[in-house]
Structure 1
Amino acid sequence: MGSSAGKYNIKAVSTMLGIQPGTLRAWERRYQMIAPVRNESGHRLYSEEHLKVLRWLISKVDQGFTISQAVSLLENSGHFREQADSTKKDKLNEIGEELLDALMEFNSSKAHELINYAFNLFTIDKTVIDLLGPILIKVGDLWEEGSITTAHEHFATSFLRSRIEGLSSSFPHSSFLPRAIAVCGPGERHELGLLMYTMFLRRKGFEVVFLGTSLAENDLEVVLDKIEPKFLFLSCTLEENRKATLDLMEILNRNYPNLHVGIGGIAIDSMPVEQRKNHQENIVGISRTEWEKWLKKRIDSF
């Protein structure tokens, strides 16, 4: 792990890049574009990868872009976004295998170390969506096939949820973006996929009320009337709950004509082609690209 580990303190980075430490800390806090590790004393340590990202951002600011515009360019263009080469993919897979092993051994300190290392190499979105997400799916598959115990499944999902929740709640929201609600569909208890989608929304600047697992009948309407959001996202992972989720979506579409209802999850993505066509306007998709496209189309309509 040494080659890309943090080795420059904030004073050194400030000197090398010509940026004030206070400005750098503000960028990190507001935009979360890098995640420097901290040493035993709690001081930030930056890697060569972090310096490359910061140099690129500073060059854009020098060209006249605002820092928010530069960060948006960074995310949308894919520049420095892990450079999607075989070496990076191999490293991500390697970390994923080690992390899964650590979770199966109930080794939380090792798991924390590996996730921190991943944040040191990759963007926050990449780490959560392409590393933690597949591990969550793998843990669920192992449990369903009887390869691991309920204790393993509970420990792993609880650990990963804690990391994702802690990160998700730290993002500032924009007063210019509409409010949203994220909740599991009727009968649904699996909320980690929804939590990851919530992190994606919060990362975009949305204020999201995360309600988690399925609510009692009529409780959702109470929340909608109180909050008056513009978006509601329903998650469905089990096929047995799909019809109830679709029925709820149809009711919400009728009763709240100004509300954009998005649906997602394994059970939604596995629908037959004809059924998907009937609900295409509400399906948010499974990839970040699809999520971005679905949101943009509806935000532009405001």
Structure 2
Amino acid sequence: MTIMSDKVGKYNIKAVSNMLGIHAGTLRAWERRYDLVKPVRNEAGHRLYTDEHLKVLKWIIDQVNRGFTVGQAVELLDREEVLRSPEIGSEPLNQIESMKTNIQTALLNFDETTATDHLDHAFNMFSTERVVISILGDILAEVGDLWEKGKILTAHEHYVTAYIRTRIGMVFQSLPVNGLLPKVICVCAPDETHEIGLLVFTFYLRRRGYDTIYLGGGIPGEDVIKIIEETRASFTVISVTMKDHISSGLSLLDQIHESFTDVKAGVGGAAIDHINPDLKKKYNHSIIGHHDDNWLDWMKT
């Protein structure tokens, strides 16, 4: 099923990510798991993708947007037919990227009406999961980064966060629960108030039927321990967005592991990239990846 090409690779992984609306981490995972494409490497060891690679990846993404799983799409793939199809455009932004930009721009201008029009259109065009993760989730990450760098005001960040929290919450409440799947507690690290990334992760789990208990931010560590005991949850997910809260997040992780032998706890969020190498090695099995392709892998470990 691997697509080989003798053509020269000309797109780096960031360009492919932007053109196709797929996280770089997701792309790397697909390469490992499905042996889908084999990008060439330049002298620096960086991946370079050909037009043929992009055709195959775009076809897979189109099938996923229609409701197939990645595995099903790979099984359906007829590479000869795909490669005979007309050339795909090499525009830097695809529809999802364009919609994301339009929504983000409107929100940063406090224009809720325009943002809602674009978001409703996105929900009509793509799956709910793709909109929540690839559009709303990415907007939150980018707006948070802009705020940390002082490029937008706190008011901007709060406004965007409140809007997206409301929209995800509207979707979240309608999702059913599979009673046969484990119960999962989702909570921010003590003192952590940035909870939207956790909400996106919780949505991802609930979408797959997990019985999720969303606690959000501002919950003391001792309360989390009591709630795990009271609910008999099998998993606890701790979100850490700000670097200052890494220590308290890892401390809560340790408390859970010390208090329960049958509860799996993990930590994720933007701040995880800032853990020093020694700590990252120590907590390797408890670190949840940034992207949706990593999340269920961690749950199944």
Shared fold per TM-score greater than 0.5: yes
1:77 and 2:67 aligned: no
Task: Give structure 2 stretches of 5+ with no counterpart.
Answer: 1-61, 75-81, 83-87
- Which residue is 1:26 aligned to? none
Conserved? CA contact 1:269–1:286, under 8 Å: no
- Which residue is 2:297 aligned to? 293
Matches within 5 A, 1:140-151: 140-151=144-155
- Which residue is 1:128 aligned to? 132
Conserved? CA contact 1:184–1:212, under 8 Å: yes
Amino acid of the structure 2 residue aligned with 1:95: M
Q: CA deviation at 1:77?
A: 2.7
User: How many pairs does the alignment contain?
Assistant: 227
1:226 and 2:220 aligned: no
Tell me how far apart the structure 1 counterparts of residues 290 and 160 of structure 2 sit (CA, whole Å): 22
Q: CA deviation at 1:142?
A: 2.3
The alpha-carbon distance between structure 1 residues 89 and 79, as it changes in their structure 2 partners (threshold 3 A), is farther
The runs of at least 4 consecutive aligned structure 1 residues that moved more than 6 Å come to none
The alpha-carbon distance between structure 1 residues 246 and 238, as it changes in their structure 2 partners (threshold 3 A), is same
Tell me how far apart the structure 1 counterparts of residues 102 and 159 of structure 2 sit (CA, whole Å): 16
The alpha-carbon distance between structure 1 residues 158 and 129, as it changes in their structure 2 partners (threshold 3 A), is same
- Which residue is 1:4 aligned to? none
Conserved? CA contact 1:269–1:285, under 8 Å: no
Tell me how far apart the structure 1 counterparts of residues 89 and 212 of structure 2 sit (CA, whole Å): 34
Q: CA deviation at 1:160?
A: 0.7
Conserved? CA contact 1:242–1:268, under 8 Å: yes
Q: Could you report, residue by residue, the CA deviation over 1:255-285 in whole angstroms, capped at 9, with x for unpaired residues? A: 1110010110111233233321211111111
Conserved? CA contact 1:185–1:234, under 8 Å: yes
- Which residue is 1:90 aligned to? 94
The alpha-carbon distance between structure 1 residues 78 and 141, as it changes in their structure 2 partners (threshold 3 A), is farther
More off after superposition, 109-118 vs 86-95: 86-95
SS at match of 1:281: helix
Tell me how far apart the structure 2 counterparts of residues 157 and 280 of structure 1 sit (CA, whole Å): 30
Q: CA deviation at 1:76?
A: 3.5
Conserved? CA contact 1:236–1:266, under 8 Å: yes
Q: Could you report, residue by residue, the CA deviation over 1:121-150 in whole angstroms, capped at 9, with x for unpaired residues? A: 222222111111121122122223333222
1:160 and 2:164 aligned: yes
Tell me how far apart the structure 1 counterparts of residues 136 and 228 of structure 2 sit (CA, whole Å): 31
More off after superposition, 140-149 vs 181-190: 140-149
Tell me how far apart the structure 2 counterparts of residues 248 and 166 of structure 1 sit (CA, whole Å): 30
Normalised to the residue count of structure 1, the TM-score between the two structures is 0.69
Tell me how far apart the structure 1 counterparts of residues 288 and 223 of structure 2 sit (CA, whole Å): 24
Normalised to the residue count of structure 2, the TM-score between the two structures is 0.69
Matches within 5 A, 1:1-302: 74-77=68-71, 79=73, 89-297=93-301
Conserved? CA contact 1:262–1:282, under 8 Å: yes
Q: CA deviation at 1:207?
A: 1.0
Q: Could you report, residue by residue, the CA deviation over 1:154-188 in whole angstroms, capped at 9, with x for unpaired residues? A: 21110011111111221101011011100001211
Tell me how far apart the structure 2 counterparts of residues 202 and 221 of structure 1 sit (CA, whole Å): 22
Task: Give structure 1 stretches of 5+ with no counterpart.
Answer: 1-51, 57-70, 298-302
Amino acid of the structure 2 residue aligned with 1:223: I
The alpha-carbon distance between structure 1 residues 269 and 204, as it changes in their structure 2 partners (threshold 3 A), is farther
The alpha-carbon distance between structure 1 residues 91 and 79, as it changes in their structure 2 partners (threshold 3 A), is same
Conserved? CA contact 1:264–1:283, under 8 Å: yes
Conserved? CA contact 2:221–2:252, under 8 Å: no
SS at match of 1:232: strand
Tell me how far apart the structure 2 counterparts of residues 86 and 178 of structure 1 sit (CA, whole Å): 43
User: Could you tell me the percent identity over the aligned residues?
Assistant: 31
SS at match of 1:218: helix
- Which residue is 2:47 aligned to? none
Q: CA deviation at 1:241?
A: 1.2
